Chains A and B, each alone.
Chain A
Amino acid sequence: MVDFYLQLHPFVQGLLKGLAVILVIFPLGGVCSMAERKVSAWIQDRPGPNRAIVPWIAWIPFFGKFLQRLGLFHVMADGGKMLFKEDSLPDHVNKFYFVLAPIVAMIPALTTVTVVPFGAYLDPAGRVIPLVLANVDVGLLAVFAVASLGVYSLILAGWASNSKYPFLGSVRASAQLISYELSMTLSVIPVFLWINAPGAEGTMGLGKAVEFQSLPGFWGGMWFIFLMPVSAFIFLTSLFAETNRQPFDMPESEADLVGGFHTEYGAFKWGLFFVAEYANMIIGSGVFILLFFGGWNPLPWIPIADLVGWLHHLTGSAFWANPFVVGLLSILIFFAKVIFMIFVFMWVRWTVPRFRYDQVMEIGWKKLLPLAIANLLAYAVGIAIVQMKG
């Protein structure tokens, strides 16, 4: 199996790897929409979706009932509905851009995955090698650059719909996305100032950020959330704004804009917007975890290499030294963290009320941006002093 894979042309190998990642991200978007309904129900103290079930599973005595209550089959029901519903194309829209917008929404969501590492394995020499589709040293910059293209789908959707509410939604969206991009970019600079010590090779790779959170010693093993809490806070807040999640869901804000930019959309095109939103959330959470929550390391001060070493020591079997096992373990840890972050996204959504548009602008420009600049200056001076001593 492995030999066969390695025989293939590198182009085919890359294609297979890319497909594998997309096959994980795309359904995960659908599952997230289900989780959203279930979490919201849990927070609001109601049962939530608990009816749909496939007949032959309903025949299983106890387990079938349990699965029904869990609402797992609503994902399939929702997906089927979106696929088979009539895909209406209103008369008054600009047809070309109307169809283009949902497709454009998917492109950044699925392109940014390529530079986000999602796990790691140990090579025979004991070094940690990140698992990533494209390991480029501009890493995070590539994520920011491609993610910033996501604004076009909102602008085009709103404009092509050629009616009042979608247009207002898209105008708000573009203003919001451009405003919060600044604070987001500024908030991660302290992390890269810290990991690009003098004399080292310059990098903006996300794998490097994790490497610096898995060093030995008190300061080495510390996750950056403890070292730079303000940066983490600014990044997370901007992430909420960039992914259009409540309390920043200005482009949609169904209370005053019906459905915002996707008012005129239905069926699968509407579904694509939603999958793109959740895919953006997954990738944003992934980046946040890599930068501030130690990536694939299980606990602060306990890197994955140590954990595997202990397991190997305790059980004495070579099972834990197998790179496949380590890789799988790291992916599991990373995904557990991502899923927790997505839960946090939903938790905030169903707890905090939506900001008004002027409040969104005020928070972005008058509060978050000055805070980000002050934070950057403070860390720049602090890191310079520490590194000059050390």
Chain B
Amino acid sequence: MGNFLFNLFAVFTVVAAAGVVVNKNAVNAAMCLLLSLVGVAGLFIVLDAYLLAFLLLLVYAGAIVALFLFIVMLLDTKSDARPQLTRIPLVARILAFALVAVGVASFGRLESPDPAAVPALGASLKLYAYQLFTTYLLPVQILGFLLLIAMVGVIVLSKKFEGLEDIR
């Protein structure tokens, strides 16, 4: 049962993720992203990581994709014209293809670790919280600062600062 559900959710996730890339309509793409995230949450549930599944739904599916959709609808992009291939998307594409190639090449070659030996940190609420505040305290703090920087960046970009008076 578990294996069947895992395969089902895995295929569902990949198909939905492909839908994000292939769809020309931005709203359809955002909805596919939502489905893909729900599929990943399903995978987490099959793996007994309930906490991760619900956090994924709460943060990504519930808030972030909703904001994506919100922005897409506000901008109302209608043009089907493909954007010019500038340098940054080109580099990103090459990197992405390289990553996929490495992933496919390593398929079946790497020995997956014994499931019993992997500590199930996402299984219990308490264990998860304890790990966040002890072993992984530094990464959590660094990520927090990254988000803070992004937030400050958004404020700087969206507000026009011309003199010191604007800040006060």
Contacts and interface: CB of A to CB of B under 8 A. Distances in A.
Say if A and B assemble together.
yes
Interface of A: 97, 136-138, 141-142, 144-146, 148-149, 151-152, 155, 159, 167, 170-171, 174-175, 177-178, 181, 196, 201-204
B21 interface: no
Given A145-B54, A155-B73, A203 B125 contact: yes
B54 A148 contact: no
A202 B63 contact: no
B29 interface: no
Given A138-B51, A202-B125, A203-B125, A148 B62 contact: yes
Given A151-B66, A202-B126, A138 B50 contact: yes
Interface residues of B, number: 22
A144 B62 CA distance: 9
Contacts of B73: 155, 159, 167, 170-171
Given A145-B54, A145-B58, A202 B66 contact: no
B20 interface: no
A141 B63 contact: no
B74 interface: yes
Q: Is the interface of A mostly helix, strand, loop or mixed?
A: helix
B62 A151 contact: yes
Contacts of B129: 202
B69 interface: yes
Contacts of A151: 62, 66
A151 B58 CA distance: 12
16 contacts: A137-B124, A137-B125, A141-B51, A146-B57, A148-B62, A148-B63, A149-B62, A152-B66, A155-B66, A170-B73, A171-B74, A174-B69, A181-B63, A202-B125, A202-B127, A204-B125
A53 B57 CA distance: 46
